[in-house]
Structure 1
Amino acid sequence: MPMSGTSRTRERLVVIGGDAAGMSAASQARRLKGPDELEIVAFERGHFTSYSACGIPYWVGGDVGERDDLIARTPEEHRERAIDLRMCTEVVRIDVQGRRVLARDLAAGEEAGEPSGAEYWTAYDKLVVATGARPLRPALPGIDAPNVHGVQTLDDGQALLDTLTGTPGRRAVVIGAGYIGVEMAEALVKRGYEVTVVNRGEEPMSTLDPDMGRLVHDAMTGMGIRMVNGAEVIAIPTGDDGRARAVATADAEYPADVVVLGIGVRPETALAREAGLPLGEYGGLLTDLAMRVRGHDDIWAGGDCVEVLDLVSGRERHIALGTHANKHGQVIGSNAGGGYATFPGVVGTAVSKVCDLEIARTGLREKDALAAGFRFVTVTIESTSRAGYYPGAAPMKVKMIAERRTGRLLGVQIVGREGAGKRVDVAAVALTAQMTVEQMTALDLGYAPPFSPVWDPVLVAARKAVAAVRSDR
């Protein structure tokens, strides 16, 4: 293994993290510079690389047949591109001043029956931190029981499936009702479980305003999922075997043979914090437009471990999405490989589904707009995915938020059946362009009865928002 102080005639790029951001960065840098110019060493503590974490609920639920279907590129494929990828190897320290990282060979430790294997230093000229995020595991009694699962990595997904296969009971409790919680609840229903979702929020999907979240609540109860909102989990009681047997709130206990955590994630930045790298309000690394860590010319960071600029509010946010991570990686790889690229920020676009209900949002919620200091109007409309007379027309609800006086679009939420979710992309483009709702009404969107009413639902909402802005002046 390369050690600090080894003489080198070419630059070395070290990447910490082998998923979307890290390996996108490594691959892009390799496209720009060959192995004679740039050595690339990547460390991944898990067993898989370049996979879709977003697809894990669909794998658990059976929509995706095999685990390997979620893997975009294997370790062997990366190595064929002259990337020295070291699996089951965890970086445990970054020495910024010495320009080196300390790695621990976890696989060697397992083979020797020890907690960890040998540690060794690797020097770098350029460093990429792509350590991802970790599922929140609050300090609750019973949280470490073997049948309590977070779902963030393929290893996590495999561990959950192993538990589901080996558990005779059919009762599942999901703690939290964000994207992962909602998607995992549906996956467990598909596997034949009786599912209870315990959520401390007023409604599921806190990324929506509560009135739109109520539509998600109704869809989940329609699937037979028991929804418990406004409830704080205080413990996970265990049996004599040490396994979780229930989830407890202040008012009740909900029996469980398996517990899934869908509380959310936080940036995995312990390494960065110990190394003295700058962190933001949400614990994520802070970078410039080139994804370079602020104050460090030869260190970049991307993916779920960073905070990004919200182009609507002007504030830094932590948003854990694979789309962003891949873009970060492309930008980092371009810059680390001698090219040039920037990542200007996000508008907060996301889509999900529960059963056949599509859920989408972009921009600010009402409470986000208030926190950012905006004065605004809100409108909500009901429409259909196709012309009302065309077979298969499905209902949808669109909520739009616009700034008072200026009419600038601030946010859109859409909940509906087939054809609803991807309509949010029109709003995402409008937000990025800082369009007003009046400008949106003139957008030349595609129309035919099988695809849309004459006035697309997003434009109907924009027209209503224009009227609200004018009446508010």
Structure 2
Amino acid sequence: MSAGERVRERLVVIGGDAAGMSAASQARRLRGPDELEIVAFERGHFSSYSACGIPYWVGGDVEDRDQLVARSPEEHRERGIDLRMRTEVVEIDVTGRRVRARAVDGAGEYWTSYDKLVIATGARPVRPELPGIDAAGVHGVQTLDDGQALLDSLRAATGRRAVVVGAGYIGVEMAEALIRRGYEVTVVNRGAEPMSTLDPDMGCLVREAMTGLGITMVDDAEVTKVVTGGDGRVRAVATRDAEYPADVVVLGIGVRPETSLARAAGLPVGAFGGLLTDLSMRVRGHEDIWAGGDCVEVLDLVSGRERHIALGTHANKHGRIIGTNVGGGYATFPGVVGTAVSKVCDLEIARTGLREKDARRAGLQYVTVTVETTGRARYYPGAAPMTVKMLAERDSGRLLGVQIVGREGAAKRVDIAAVALTAGLTVEQVTSLDLGYAPPFSPVWDPIQVASRKAAGAVRNA
């Protein structure tokens, strides 16, 4: 090697969706093919797609599957990334700095060495070990392949009855999608109310909306088995008390970090099963290994504790930060406040920060307030009701969390609270924010500030 000649490094990426390919793309922008070879492995049929859009594709809002794909494998390859589809990494050899891969549809395995490694293996749907859980017609929904399999199953089903197991974000969104497909939908939920990411008093508003759509809600119920017919296909879902007929079943119980490879390689995982990283998204204790997306745990800026949140927004940010660091720059991911939004038809659902049980778990003393208001001036046409719940720290008045359930304009108002939480504002300071006002968009006092005024009073009187 002549003086001044650079050594070409190899970056290996495990996972071809948001975090992995964002990391690969950002690294490629900063370092050309002569400096950095990039090899990426993806076991599915699709790369860089929106998993969050799957319920809207199933429900018919998005007509074509390819609309959910941000960048195809061919486009990545044109940009100098060796993306190997339908290829699964089955082992990470940290000491030898290599990974072992095999073709999903073929035979044979091979090793690929790396100088730098990115783990972006995502999350997997929770699939309880129950009799019949692997029967035809039972579906988890995490990848585009999963979404396609569900649509194929819906087309093949002879009846129009669906059971959704679980009432979190995926369960609620899939219940709406199936209603829109013309199915009779039953949701079996372990909790007393749907949406366990909300406090129960807010979750009950979601249940009322779902019931109003014709969805049958079965709360405080745990599935004991999936009943199958003579053809091996699902026929019903059973709890301890009843059976609910089903031609198709969707599992909406939630997801867990997919870290089996990382665990086997001896990499550090946290209480929620996600990989542990530092602020630069490096896996702790490993200088040349990064991880991002749904397979990692992140810092909750409000509670100060690690948590697992599976969202495409975080995955894309993680990937960009990783790619910047791999490419020779420097970037960090400070943490999250736990912001998420969803909907059931025209009912919008939003939350950020801590729920009551989160605050108790963190040892915080707090006050709560709930206000009923509207998203526009009450006299303006289309003004619709909105319920806002707010938590504040008892002594300091620091904002701890906000939950919103309402109609048009409700969900994105949570962003005001997310910024306030990130900045560490008190509810009194939120009351003084200079927010936009005009009757078509807001009352004189924005709903967030109506709640913050009441919370500030509760703090003073505590």
Residue in structure 2 matched with residue 4 of structure 1 by the alignment: none
Please list every run of 5 or more consecutive structure 1 residues that lacks an aligned counterpart in the other structure. Answer: 1-7, 110-116
* Count of residue pairs brought into register by the alignment: 457
Q: For 1:321 and 1:189, how far apart are their aligned partners in 2?
A: 24
Distance 1:13 1:134 in 2: 25
Q: Note the C-alpha offset of 1:106.
A: 1.6
Q: Equivalent residue for 2:327?
A: 337
- 1:205 corresponds in structure 2 to 195
Task: Indicate which of 83, 86, 93 corresponds to 1:85.
Answer: 83
Q: Which residue of 1 aligns with 2:271?
A: 281
Q: Which residue of 1 aligns with 2:125?
A: 135
How many angstroms does 1:146 deviate by? 1.3
Over residues 384-437 of structure 1, what are the superposed CA-to-partner deviations in whole Å (9 max), with x where a residue is unaligned? 010000000010000000000100000000000000000000000000000000
Distance 1:59 1:47 in 2: 17
Within the candidate set 30, 43, 46, 1:45 is matched to 43
Amino acid at match of 2:11: L
Query: Using the alignment, how far apart are the partners of 2:331 and 2:420 within structure 1?
Result: 23
- Give the distance between the partners of 1:9 and 1:371, measured in 2 at CA: 50
Question: Aligned letter for 1:158?
Answer: Q
Name the residue aligned to 1:229: 219
1:315 paired with 2:328, answer no
- Give the structure-2-normalised TM-score: 0.98
SS at match of 2:228: coil
Q: 1: CA distance between counterparts of 2:415 and 2:104?
A: 42
What per-residue deviation string (whole Å, max 9, x for no partner) do you get for residues 290-345 of structure 1? 00000000000000000000000000000000000000000000001111000000
- What is the identity, as a one-letter code, of the residue corresponding to 2:272? Y
1:354 and 2:307 correspond: no
- Amino acid aligned to 1:11: E
Counterparts of 1:119 and 1:339, CA distance in 2: 34
Residue of structure 2 aligned with 1:393, choices 357, 380, 383: 383
Whether 2:249 is the aligned partner of 1:259: answer yes
> Structure 1 residue 51: deviation in Å?
0.2
User: 1:9: Cα distance to partner?
Assistant: 4.2
Q: Secondary structure at the match of 2:397?
A: coil
What does the per-residue CA deviation read over 1:88-131, in whole Å, with 9 as the maximum and x for residues that have no partner? Answer: 00000000000000000123x1xxxxxxx210000000000000
State yes or no: 1:406 paired with 2:404.
no
What CA distance in whole angstroms lies between the structure 2 residues aligned with 1:425 and 1:456? 13
TM-score (norm 1): 0.96
Q: Is 1:27–2:25 an aligned residue pair?
A: yes
After superposing on structure 2, the runs of 4+ consecutive aligned residues of structure 1 that deviate more than 4 Å are none
What is residue 238 of structure 1 aligned with on the other side?
A: 228
Partner in structure 2 of residue 154 of structure 1: 144
- Separation in structure 1 between the aligned mates of residue 396 and residue 181 of structure 2, nearest angstrom: 50
Q: CA RMSD in A?
A: 0.7
- Identify the residue that residue 113 of structure 1 maps to in structure 2: none
1:240-282 Cα shifts (integer Å, max 9, x gaps): 1111110000000000000000000000000000000000001
User: Structure 2 unaligned runs (5+)?
Assistant: 1-5
Match in the other structure for 1:461: 451
Which residue of 2 is the match for residue 112 of structure 1?
A: none
Aligned to 2:364: 374
Show the 5 A alignment for 1:67-86. Answer: 67-86=65-84
1:168 to partner: Cα distance? 1.4
Q: Distance in 1 between matches of 2:103 and 2:207?
A: 45
Q: What is the identity, as a one-letter code, of the residue corresponding to 1:18?
A: G
Q: Which residue of 2 aligns with 1:122?
A: 112
Q: 2:288 aligned with 1:290, yes or no?
A: no
Equivalent residue for 1:3? none
Distance 2:143 2:431 in 1: 42
Superposition pairs for residues 422-433 of structure 1, below 5 Å?
Answer: 422-433=412-423
How far, CA to CA, are the matches of 1:386 and 1:138 in structure 2?
44
> Deviations for 1:25-84, whole angstroms, at most 9, x for unmatched residues?
000000000000000000000000000000000000000000000000000000000000
- Structure 2: distance between partners of 1:31 and 1:340: 14
**Tell me, what secondary structure is at the counterpart of 1:236?**
strand
